[in-house]
A and B are shown apart, each in its own frame.
Chain A
Amino acid sequence: MSHLLHIALRSAWNRRLTLGLTLVAITLSVAMLIGVERLRYEAHRGFSLSVSGTDLVVGARTSPIQLILYAVFRIGEATSNIDWKSFQDIADNPLVAWAVPISLGDSHHGFPVMGTTPAYFEHFHYSDSRRLSFIKGQPFQDIFDVVLGMEVASQLGYTIGDRIVLSHGMGEVGLLEHDDKPFIVSGILAPTGTPVDRTLHISLEGITAIHLNWVGGVPMHGFTIPGEHVRKFDLTPKDITAALVGLKNRAAVFRVQRQINEHKDEPLLAVMPGVALEQLWQVIGVAEKTLLAVTSMVVFVGLSGLAAVLLASLNERRREMAILRAIGARRRDIFLLMVSESLLVTLGGIVLGVILLSAASLLLAPWVQANYGISLQPALIYVSELKLLVGVVAVGLLAGLVPGHRAYKMSLTDGLMSRI
């Protein structure tokens, strides 16, 4: 076998230009296939790990997926808020163990600012029931304290005691700034791999405070309230974006959900985050399958190209096959020679494709994280991708069978072919 492999390698090297181009095509298609699968996997993992221990997420009436996306993943914006009174009603429900309000809408250098209560740090869980922990400092206590997610702190280089000016609204440029009321970093959270890392947390009172002199989304002209005076105002929020709710008894989740959905004062929506995520997968699943099918087709095209190149080379290699036969090669050897060449190129394409993808994901990880909220792990290959690669090898093998069979048949009719 090893001598056949040696011959196959030398033969392939002899035709390195055509095979090289085929290899490039296979490399790119494999990188694409695995890349799509990796993004899918990371998106699922990221979303699934981002919330745990929360029984219900409550917001204004919209679609459950939209509510989860903005309340938990900070993707998109709320269409409307819910009254503080409604939140209090929910918190007062005897079946509810805890309720944490969330107020979104402001940002800092593109990172979302979230107003909440200190209870958030106690009740919000991620991954497998893991609690948030501080690597530095403590939860906000003062109105103008801010707790940073790990990534906010590391990307912007903030540490405890730094002063931060928040912007009104989301976006990178052209935002009005709350520069009259800077915040001071009181704590930095340990990394979680969830949207928490990209969030600035302040108290609900802080949210109210920075908007005190604002009307209709802009500061009132010529009227400012210095930070030290806001404490005299009633800083109870009028409304919030959403609420996270934990129940005393899990079995009550459907009952509480119904009660909240039938809330009298204003239309509310309570969704079970796990259920909403499943619905999200059901919808995205179609797109994912389509994408996977398209990239699979690209790989298939690449491997078809390989089969075509091998078939086309057969005529010029007829003489070579006849010589090998005369020397004692079995017809099976001739067959194996073709198949091993196909496998060599396929495996080469897989190895190069995986390396290419790993390099690309290393380079692009920060950008993907920042733009899509998907954290790419610095891994060469994921277990979930192996089945795809096995499939690629299988198709590569099939691609080799066609010319292999052809060569086998040819060696039968050609004999020693002492004349050309």
Chain B
Amino acid sequence: MIKSKILLLLSMLLTPFSTVAAVAHVHGVATLQLALDESLLHLNLSSPLDSLLGFEHQPRTEKQKTAVRHMADQLHQAERLFRPTLAARCTLKTYSLESPVLETGKHKEHDHEGHDHADLNAEFVFYCAKPNELRDLEINLFSYFPGLLRLKTEAATPRGQSAAILTPSKRRISW
């Protein structure tokens, strides 16, 4: 029973940053959820804007506006950011980006002054011709977004569920 007490203690230590993993907003950290179903590889990236941009308000200066454009440009080229196993022959099918800074035409609901946090949510869907060959995914976000220090990944594939924390020196998840 000692062990179970230790485990409980450990699990309680983990509580603050795990319970709310899906909605956690920690600068420098982003979350990537990966689901493989049949031929479709779903990637869902959610990140505090700070990790990608260095700020979380509406761009004010020219420099900040350039940064937002730059970020969007990178995310539009998802095949550079995410490299699934080559043999699986995956190609980007659809994607969507969602963030207050990108909704330029709309009412800027989140852009009142203060210390509000803002996120980016992006979803990418790859079609894989040989999904059985899909065993790993290389993630190059760290190269394009130096503000990103850790990427928490969660995966659901036919081989089971897994989780891993990626860093600039460990960029590949496999399953």
Contacts and interface: CB of A to CB of B under 8 A. Distances in A.
Binding partners A and B: yes
Interface of A: 52, 55, 61-66, 69, 75-76, 249-254, 257-258, 261, 269, 272-275, 278-280, 282-284, 287, 371-372
A272 to B, nearest CB: 5
B36 interface: yes
B154 A272 contact: yes
Contact of A280 (B11, B157, B162, B165): B11
B154 A275 contact: yes
Contact of A279 (B12, B18, B40): B18
A250 B14 contact: no
11 contacts: A52-B160, A63-B14, A65-B14, A69-B11, A76-B8, A254-B33, A254-B154, A254-B156, A258-B22, A272-B156, A274-B156
Nearest to A43: B3
A66 B7 CA distance: 8
B156 A55 contact: yes
Contacts of B3: 75, 371-372
B39 to A, nearest CB: 11
B165 A282 contact: yes
A251 B10 contact: no
Contacts of B44: 254
A254 B19 CA distance: 15
Contacts of B33: 254
A253 B19 contact: no
B56 to A, nearest CB: 22
Contacts of A372: 3-4
B22 A273 contact: no
Interface string B29-46: 000010111001010100
Interface residues of B, number: 33
A95 B138 CA distance: 30
Interface centre among A65, A283, A371 (most CB of B within 10 A): A65
B7 A250 contact: no
Interface centre among B8, B158, B163 (most CB of A within 10 A): B163
B156 A251 contact: yes
A76 B7 CA distance: 9
Given A63-B19, A64-B21, A254-B33, 7 more contacts: A65-B14, A69-B11, A75-B7, A250-B35, A272-B156, A272-B161, A283-B13
A248 B18 CA distance: 26
Contacts of B157: 250
B30 to A, nearest CB: 15
A175 B161 CA distance: 39
A278 B160 CA distance: 12
A361 to B, nearest CB: 16
Nearest to A286: B10
Contacts of B158: 250
A261 B18 CA distance: 13
Given A64-B19, A274-B162, A251 B14 contact: no
Nearest to A261: B22
Contacts of B19: 61-64, 269
B18 A63 contact: yes
A250 B22 contact: no
Contact of A65 (B11, B36, B40, B165): B11
A210 B42 CA distance: 47
B170 to A, nearest CB: 13
